[in-house]
Amino acid sequence: MGYTACIVAAGRGERAGGDTPKQFRMLAGRPMLSWSIERFACDPACGQIIIAHAPGQAEQVRACLSGARADLVEGGETRTASVRNALSLARSDTVLIHDAARPMLSQTIIAGLLDALKSHDGAAPALPVSDALVRDADEGVTAVNRENLYRLQTPQAFHTDRLREAFSAAQSDYPDEVSLARSQGLTIDLTQGEEANFKVTYPQDFERAEQLLNRSAVQTPVPVTITGLGYDVHRMASGDGVHLCGVFIECPYRLIGHSDADAGLHAITDALLGAAGLGDIGDHFPPSDNQWKGADSAMFLEHVVKIAAEAGVRPVHVDVTLICERPKIGPHKSAMKHRVAQIMGLDTRRVNIKATTTEQLGFTGRGEGLAAEAIVTGLAS
């Protein structure tokens, strides 16, 4: 699931002390804002980064980008106003709204949020309150029952259109997007938060964050870029259409195979298996097994994305070449890009579909069959 990341960096951070807004203060050798930018920039599912900043701070924000691409927008006097401005630029169907003052966001939190959005309007990471709570009032100190009380964190994730509707209907400012969404009846799921994802608020928080970031830099290995190559061929016969890269194309042909014979998805699946060092498609889905007869090849690729992740490999880019004289691929490229991106959890800009002929040479030139090649680039931890 591709998403837009909105980073809220328009606050003054007065409780943190110092003359510099805390989002630009140095933390483990870099401005604090740069840590959140890097996290989203390295996630292949993140197709857009938007940063809401205070007036006059655009250049300071650009100094934090370190080559990452981001859309900048001026924030407002309140958080609600800043997020509303950022949301107006969001291009993805899903949006994650994150505080610049939470520099230790993990991929695990992001994955949990995206999964929760499959069944809810919004989601937010949270931690149960573990300390005893009291309320200090005129009549004295009274205990507060902490059962079902949670500390909310960010990012807070939503279906973009649903959150925009909530903002349009809102009549006041809210402390965060979950509060605003609940005021408009949206369903919210609480996912697992992390203690390391705390908000840097007070001067002493900088020392704690610095220690955690330095420790993480030592313990976390630099990801290795890997590639895998996939190739698949299927014979062609008379029929009512073909499946290619997850899209059904109506035409007077069909591809012959044990499953739905989607050569494009088969090539991608083999390429990802190659990148992850997990054998080939026949090892996992043997044509001798009748349970795969007529199967949707998207099932194959979805499974391999999962087992590759378990092996520490995540795809970041896929390039496919379809080799055939027929059917015409051009009118269907966009739909193929979106379907492959959806299956692999990539932004569509990380998927490329090409088509070529063999100038009527060979089995593809004679229309006897169709071939597909794919290269998958991934990161291995």
Domains of the chain: 3-130+148-219 (3.90.550.10), 224-380 (3.30.1330.50)
Confidence bin at 141 (pLDDT 50/70/90): confident
Burial of 304 (0-12, 13-18, 19+ CB in 10 A): buried
* Residue 44, both tokens: 């292949």
pLDDT above 80: residue 139? no
Provide the pLDDT for residue 95.
Answer: 97
379 phi, psi to nearest 5 deg? -120, 130
How big is the chain by its Cα radius of gyration, in Å?
Answer: 25
Q: Model's pTM, two decimal places?
A: 0.66
CA distance 302 to 44: 16
Provide the pLDDT for residue 220.
Answer: 52
Helix segments in 117-202, DSSP class H: 160-169, 177-183
Provide the pLDDT for residue 345.
Answer: 85
Query: DSSP 3-state assignment of 248?
Result: strand
Give the mean model confidence (pLDDT) for residues 329-336.
95
Confidence bin at 29 (pLDDT 50/70/90): confident
Provide the pLDDT for residue 17.
Answer: 47
Asked whether the beta carbons of 125 and 178 are under 8 A apart, the reply is no
CA distance 118 to 375: 29
Asked whether the beta carbons of 275 and 228 are under 8 A apart, the reply is yes
Confidence bin at 135 (pLDDT 50/70/90): confident
Q: How far is CA 346 from the centre of its chain?
A: 7
Residues β-bridged to residue 233: 371
- pLDDT tens digits for range 150-195: 999 999 999 999 999 999 998 888 999 999 999 999 999 999 999 9
Nearest to 3 by CA among 105, 102, 95, 107: 95
* Residue 71, both tokens: 């859309």
Q: How far is CA 251 from the centre of its chain?
A: 35
Give the mean model confidence (pLDDT) for residues 110-127.
95
Provide the pLDDT for residue 78.
Answer: 92
CA distance 68 to 65: 5
CA distance 237 to 212: 61
Give the mean model confidence (pLDDT) for residues 273-286.
92
Average pLDDT of the residues of the chain: 90
